[in-house]
Amino acid sequence: MKFFVDTADTDEIRDLAATGLVDGVTTNPSLVAKSGRKFLDVVQEICTIVDGPVSAEVTATDHETMLKEGQKLAALAPNITVKVPLTPDGLKTCKSLTDAGTMVNVTLCFSAGQAILAAKAGATFVSPFVGRLDDISSDGMQLISDICQIYSMYDDFETEVLVASIRNPIHLTEAAKMGAGVATLPPSVLRQLYKHPLTDSGLAAFLADWEKTGQSILDS
């Protein structure tokens, strides 16, 4: 499974990228707005930090303007993935950009039927939103299971399932068990994956025993 980090905070991205765990980045207008910086400047900087796909979202809602925005974004860097909404105009834009060789992330997917449409439009990624479905008492993880099952049945569907709106490590591990190819994680959730009380207590015990020996590896 590939890990994308869901943020526009370039300091966070640099820190996490240094671990070797980050395969790409997803952004959206809300995340970039929090940075207080110009949208294109932020996206360009992120593209210099990570080699993998960087999702940058269009803001128009009509096909013609979406396409122009997508073309401008795609020209920023070779690893740009243009993010479009799962609407009729978004899917038209997806097909046009895909045909031109641009990676496309179709976002705001909330049903298996929508995911089928994204695959048929040639999307590189489809982004089903797990947490937002959970918020309305629907089963977000069941949607991931359904999409993975459907995609696996058709060799001509090359779209990767990019699990979005992940709220906790359980969302991630369940998606991995279902075979989702990508998860986009807020930095806080990615860091939660490190944590386990037995890891902490075990390390503390090892260090206490080592201290009793009075030795130092560097001074040996």
- Give the residue numbers annotated as catalytic, written as ranges: 83
Q: How far apart are CA 25 and CA 22, in angstroms?
A: 8
Q: How far apart are CA 136 and CA 220, in angstroms?
A: 60
- Beta-carbon contacts of 104 under 8 Å, excluding residues fewer than 6 positions away, are 70, 81, 82, 83, 84, 93, 94, 97, 98, 122, 123, 124, 125
**Rg over CA atoms, the chain:** 20
Identity of residue 63: H
Instruction: Tell me which residue of 79, 118, 124 sits closest to 98, measured CA to CA.
Output: 124
Tokens standing for residue 28 = 């959206």
Q: Residue-wise over 153-170: b if at least 16 C-beta within 10 A, else e?
A: eeeebebbbbbbbbbebe
Phi-psi region of 134 (alpha: psi -120 to 50; beta: other; left: phi over 0): alpha
